[in-house]
Structures are given as C-alpha cells and as structure tokens.
Amino acid sequence: MDGCKRAGLPAIGLWREPVQETGVDATARMVADAGLRVSSLCRGGFLTAADPHERSNALDDNHRAIEEAAALGAHCLIMVVGGLPLGSLDLTGARARVTDGIAALAPHAEQCGVRLALEPMHPMYCADRGVLSTLGQTLDLAEKFPAEQVGVVVDSFHVWWDPDVLSQIARAAGRICSFQICDWITPLPADALLARGMMGDGHIDLAGLRQAVDAAGYRGDIEVEIFNADVWAADPDEVVATFIRRYVRHVLGD
C-alpha cells in the first residue's frame, strides 16, 4: 500500500490470506488511510468438489469471502473456480458443479453489493486450478445470471491466445469486472504458476486487448498481476516504476 501511494496509484487488489492476517477491518482502515481503493478481492471459488461436505465448506468459505469483499469496499470477488477433484476425469461434471455453486452464491453477492467475477484461466491450469478455460465458456455461465450478480475477469495471460478473444471481449460488455495485465514470456518458466512476465517482455498484444476492453465500455481499474519469482525478489518501488513505464508504452500505446 505504501508503494502504491508513493507511486500515485489509485487502487490495489488484495488477496484474502494477507487480509485475514491483518484483519478485515484493520485492512479497510489501512486502505482508506493510504487514500486507496480496493480494486478487487482475490479469491473465492474452488467450487468443483463432488464430496458434499467439501462442497458445503467451499460454499461457506465463499459466503465469508463475499462479506470480506463488501467490508473492504471491493466491488468484485475474483473467482478461481477450481480444477478436477483428485482422481476424477469428469470435466463436464466439474464444470456443472461450478454453475451450481455460482447459483448458490449469486444472490448473497448481490445483497452485499459485490459481483462474482468469474475468471477464465489458461487451459494449462484446467486440471488443477480452473475448469473455466475460455472467455466464451465463462460468458455462457455468467449470462445465466443478472450482470449485477455475475461478471467476468479479462486477464491477458489467460485469454490472449484465444482465436475468439476479441469478439468475446465485445460480448462481455457490461460484465467485465476487471482487466488484468501481464505478459506471456518464453521459454515458459519451470513453475507454471509463476510463469508471468512484465508487460513488454513477452508475446501478448496488450494494447490490442486494452482497446477491445475499452471498446466494450470498461472504465474500471486495470490490475497489474505478475506472479513471477524474479519480480517478487526485486525492489518493490522499482517494480512499480517499471510497470508504470511499461503500462504507458505497451498497454496505452498502439
């Protein structure tokens, strides 16, 4: 938060684990004192369990996450929907349980003024993290619900490769809860969960995606989200300064 404030950034995306360590109310005060907003709370989801007990626990946890997002003033809760249960090959079933889970959570989210932001994840995470694999598939699910209850995340890392990405971003008008950016770098780092690069270091046409999101009417925050061991090890103020420069050049620029 201090780094964001020093750099003049208006908002910060928060993750539940550090928020819970600090406490939700204390975090909300820190954000307000820093003059920041919470762009999103990450993350709810993990709704694919077939076991009734696990499923019930997951729903309870998501209800709490919705309330935490509301207490933090986050307009959306990012939903990483979960992968295949251990030993299961039933991808269709896992996807159906995600739909059921969202149906169970959406009314509570609306009551709390928080949108469930479904995040399609890169297909390389389909088995173990998120069975929503394309923006089109995610919109098929989101559109079963009112737009004030359920929206989508457009994360450059997850969707850039999709031949339909531009038309699906246009279709997502009114549903986009967050536009998240980083780059796809090659060779892919050894840890697939830390494979993201700084904007401009990779292969994604970020300006093209930004224009599409603009054209779809999105006026919310653009979140820089770079899971990368080297970025995490670098001086935070330098990282922020770098991504601001890179944002201007590679995301705003054409």
Can you give the binding site for its own copies, defined by CB under 8 A? Answer: 84, 88-91, 95, 122-124, 126-128, 133-134, 137, 160-163, 184, 186-188, 190-192, 202-205, 208
Measured from the CB atom, is 162 or 221 closer to its own copies?
162
Strand-pairing partners, residue 180, are 155, 223
Give backbone dihedrals phi and psi of 44, rounded to 5 degrees, phi first.
Answer: -100, -170
- CA torsion through residues 23, 106, 13, 74, sign: negative
Single-letter residue type at 188 = L
Give Cα 187 to chain centroid, integer Å: 24
Measured from the CB atom, is 89 or 173 closer to its own copies?
89
Measured from the CB atom, is 207 or 241 closer to its own copies?
207
**What gap in Å lies between CA 195 and CA 175, rounded to an integer?**
27
**What gap in Å lies between CA 206 and CA 122, rounded to an integer?**
16
Measured from the CB atom, is 101 or 202 closer to its own copies?
202
**What gap in Å lies between CA 131 and CA 220, rounded to an integer?**
26
Measured from the CB atom, is 38 or 206 closer to its own copies?
206
To the nearest whole angstrom, how small is the minimum distance from the Cβ of residue 172 to its own copies?
Answer: 16
To the nearest whole angstrom, how small is the minimum distance from the Cβ of residue 233 to its own copies?
Answer: 19
Q: Which of 111, 114, 29 is CA-nearest to residue 70?
A: 114
To the nearest whole angstrom, how small is the minimum distance from the Cβ of residue 18 to its own copies?
Answer: 24
To the nearest whole angstrom, how small is the minimum distance from the Cβ of residue 186 to its own copies?
Answer: 5
To the nearest whole angstrom, how small is the minimum distance from the Cβ of residue 147 to its own copies?
Answer: 22
